[in-house]
Structure formats: C-alpha cells, structure tokens
Amino acid sequence: MSLDIAQQGLRERKRIATRRAIESAALGLVVEKGLENVTVDEISHRADVSPRTFFNYFASKEAAMLGESPELPTDGSVARYAGGELGSSALEGLGELISAASQESGEDAEIHTLRFSLLRQYPQLFTLRMTAMRSFEEQLATVVAERLRHDEPALDDESRRSKAKLITLVAFGVIRHSWSCWAENEGAMSLSERMRQSFAQLPGILSAGAA
C-alpha cells in the first residue's frame, strides 16, 4: 500500500495524476465507444497530454487499459505461505495467497472498478492481462519453491523447481476458470469467493475415475 500520496514532492504527484488521467481517459472512452474505436490520439486529448507523452507513460494502448500487473502481497502472507502456515498444501495455499493478493491493489477505486467491468466485457482484454502476468508467475513460482522446500525437504533442487512451476501453472489455470465463471454470472459471487470455490473443486477432477 502506498499511503504516501501527499508526501512525494510535486514531480511525483504530477506523474501519478497524469498516469491516472490517462488510464481514466482510456477506460472512459472504451465504455463510450467500444474497445475497437478508441485511438491513442483521443485518449491523449481527453487526458490533456500530447500523444507523445502518452507513450512516455504506457508502452501501448492496451497497457493503459490493463494497468499494472499484480505484485506479491506485502502483508506478510507470502512469508506465512512459504513457511507452510497458509493452506494445507502448496497448491491450496497458493489459492488463498493469490486471492489475498488480488484484493490488495493500491489503485484508485473508481478506475479499478471500471477496469474490472471492462475485463469482463472484453475477454480479449482479460487474455492480454493473463499474458502480461508472466513476470508475476515467475515470482510466484519462486515462492512456491520455497514452500516446497519446507513441505518436502527431501526433494532435489531440480525436481522442486519443476514441481513449483507445475503448481503455479495449474493455479493459473484455476484462476482462469474462476474468472470465466465469475464473468459469466453477473456478479452472483465475488471474484475471490469464486476463486476459493474453483480451488476447492480441484481435488475432485483428479480423483474421479471412469464409472
């Protein structure tokens, strides 16, 4: 969390304001005109910056709509997870960890809400967001490996790395599932609730053999 908004010097505050203005302009225009009909020129104009400046803030039009990709939570849950205190297995605990991480976003609430609704409306955007998470995936895989070092100390490094990656990628599959279910049923359930449910469903898809 960055509550230090007020204590950063003019430069930094302006920078944040500009970034938000651009994000807000981008998202607003998508709502009004649809994803395909929004250009960088329009966004920059509405945000009161030059198109050139737009690209000083975001590498692409899509980046302005997606916002930053998530980071590892800073509330200590990572350490608890790695230490084996979160969840009864590396995979299950990972569900809780990610669920918690997706809560913690230092973002402007209004922008965040708008972005979520657009991610639901345009699956292509969600796909983009998932592919932008590669770095997050790798961070998580590292954490998972730590957890495994705790859970299964006998494992050699190579096997542990591989297993951690498998757990992480499976978890991302589950997240996609949660998102998909959540996006279909107009908010019948909160996303993190839905994530818990998908993770809970997971054991059932392995055990169930042919009738």
Partner DNA sequence: TAGGAAACTTGCAGAGAGTGCAAGAATGTA
Partner DNA sequence: TACATTCTTGCACTCTCTGCAAGTTTCCTA
Interface residues with its own copies (CB under 8 A) are 84, 88-91, 127, 130-131, 134, 150-153, 162-163, 165-167, 169-174, 176-177, 180-181, 198, 201-211
- Reduced to 3 states (helix: H, G, I; strand: E, B; else coil), residue 107 is coil
Nearer to DNA, 64 or 114 (CB): 64
Q: By CB under 7 A, tell whether 45 contacts DNA.
A: no
Measured from the CB atom, the residue of 49 and 202 that comes closer to its own copies is: 202
26: nearest Cα among 11, 37, 12, 13? 37
Which of its own copies, DNA, none does 208 bind, CB closer than 5 to 8 A by kind? its own copies
| Displacement of CA 23 from its chain's centroid (Å) | 17
Span interacting with DNA, options 46-54, 69-77, 154-162, 174-182, rule CB under 7 A: 46-54
- Return the residue of 15, 46, 149, 165 that touches DNA, per CB under 7 A: 15
Give CA–CA dist 86/15, Å, rounded.
37
Q: Among 4-12, 78-86, 136-144, 192-200, which window interacts with DNA (CB under 7 A)?
A: 4-12
Distance in angstroms (rounded) separating the CA atoms of residues 200 and 33: 39
Residues contacting 47, CB < 8 A, separation 6+? 18, 21, 22, 24, 25, 26, 54
> What type of residue is 30?
V
Interaction of residue 120 with DNA, rule CB under 7 A: no
The span from the CA of 115 to the CA of 17, in Å, is 17
Contacting residue, 32, 33, 41, 170, with DNA by CB under 7 A = 41
